A and B are shown apart, each in its own frame.
Chain A
């Protein structure tokens, strides 16, 4: 029993927990991509010059897999050279970062309905407000001034096509 515990302890010291999870995720992705390569359309050898389209991606996947399998043990080598791979991930992802990710995803998801101008305004309002900007004068001048500057620069001067979105509906 004690031997078993020691064995699991030494294995625990060998493997870095976060890196093991990363290695498992990457291995699953590699397995999925390998499976995808087997579904590539088959081409006659003459046509493909004996280099089928799946050959190069498969070589890459094998090399990447070989490297991925070392990742859980890499912390041992890094420690020897004075590097700590866990330093940048010792704290959990901040709530403000997760919130930012959600807000931006939601804005992009609704951008086709909103149209370009309203999307720009939405970003200009939501991010500073969410990040705690409460100076009203600063906020108002930013929300009015910055989108106006962007629209004039890109749409009017540089001719980038901006989808009208909701504004078009309102106009009609």
Chain B
């Protein structure tokens, strides 16, 4: 309890509250702008938050993450163009409801269910994270290696066209992590006699390139796309009677979202799709789905926001990111000198509770912003792309450069952008690469340490039941496309 009070105390400084609210505002804005996303905004923000107090920096990013998930639903509902992938399922019923003349009601349902989903997952977070961390304190290098391998295998089921390509992207990320001087031996690896590579490739320019610059190239293909817009005058909160009717859908989706968020590598998009499908499966009015069903809005919205909170559990308790955005928050934590994992919770619990508080404020903040600014945010989506994307590129350049005052990083950003564009064209997702890059050090360190402990006998690792469990889970995760097809045929 004392830690919770301390954590809230850390947040209650004027500067921190201001930064959290700025994070919410930026989150809703980038969520509402098609093409911009919260991972991209977090990637752009990281270099500028280095000089901030760690609590303020991480709280701002966590707030942006929560709000960005909701922001995506604004454009999904008003212009049928999800501002962020997790809002794809919201568009299925949100847009028809808006077209039927009830855009304010659709936005209100999305906002309230998002807030509920978000707060639900935070309550689970506050109990689950310390428990998970306590368990993880017993982990040795072998167990961590097993966990990291399991997390990498979960990349296969991340959203994207192909599990195989997700896995390749993830492993390429781990491989990029090996560039630079090997910590144990001091040997240079893949540096090609370039001094800038001796310290390895920094996360920041790669993240900015993959998320922002590659998206700029994609957007340059559809600069003149015309979208039909529905004007929302204000957000209309649902009545108590309506909420009563929807309570089971919201609760179910919040549970689903939190659970999926906790699974390593599973993000809000998967949660939203499952939340939508389950809302439809349990609904008494299945025929209304696709035509503006309220359940079709609250189902995915509660799930995707709950997943955002859920994804913070493995990120903070184990140091294993739960989604693309949390992978970036993890990178930011590392840059601020923290070692994400069980020690973060056992040694600095007040810091973790401060992040929890920031996410709570963010959840309430975007409801308020939605209430007063729905009209404004519905207009934001119409900022001309021809002016918006040059601005994104300028922020990307400054962000990459300012991190280490190095032009080399700007080139890395551009190269990552080009590679990211062609990866996407050929079905390789960027998010697994980022997660691989961030997990890379953990995988190699834990692998090396376990091999040393077990006298280079790989099979000796399996003597630990926890490692065995993770390897079984890895096998199940990798073989899931086969057995799910087998069971669905039956």
Contact = CB atoms under 8 A, between A and B. Distances in A.
Interface of A: 18-19, 22, 26, 33, 36-37, 40-41, 43, 47-54, 56-57, 60-61, 63-64, 67-68, 70-71, 74, 77-78, 80-81, 83, 85, 88-89, 93-94, 96-97, 100-101, 104-105, 108, 111-112, 116, 119-120, 123-124, 127-128, 131-133, 138, 142, 146-147, 150, 154, 158, 160-161
B407 to A, nearest CB: 6
A81 B171 CA distance: 24
A154 B481 contact: no
A43 B182 CA distance: 11
B220 interface: yes
Contacts of A161: 402, 405
A166 B184 CA distance: 44
SS class, residues of chain B in contact with chain A: helix
SS class, residues of chain A in contact with chain B: helix
A112 B408 CA distance: 11
Contacts of A83: 161-162
B190 A57 contact: yes
A77 B164 CA distance: 11
A63 B171 contact: yes
B216 interface: yes
A67 B168 contact: yes
Contacts of A47: 185
B410 A111 contact: yes
Contacts of B190: 33, 36, 57
6 contacts: A22-B426, A51-B452, A57-B178, A104-B393, A104-B414, A150-B395
Given A60-B174, A67-B167, A97-B221, A108 B414 contact: yes
A94 to B, nearest CB: 5
Contacts of B189: 37, 40, 53-54, 57
Contact of A96 (B167, B223, B427, B481): B223
B246 interface: no
Given A63-B171, A123-B397, 12 more contacts: A53-B184, A74-B164, A81-B481, A85-B162, A85-B427, A88-B426, A104-B213, A111-B410, A112-B407, A123-B390, A146-B394, A150-B395
Interface of B: 48, 161-162, 164-165, 167-168, 171-172, 174-175, 178, 182, 184-185, 187-190, 192, 213, 216-218, 220-221, 223-224, 384-387, 389-391, 393-395, 397-398, 401-402, 405, 407, 410-411, 414, 418, 421, 424-427, 444, 447-448, 451-452, 456, 481, 485
Given A74-B164, A127-B389, A158-B48, A43 B223 contact: no
B216 A142 contact: no
Contacts of A119: 397
Contacts of B171: 60, 63-64, 67
Given A47-B185, A48-B184, A51-B452, A128 B414 contact: no
A53 B401 CA distance: 30
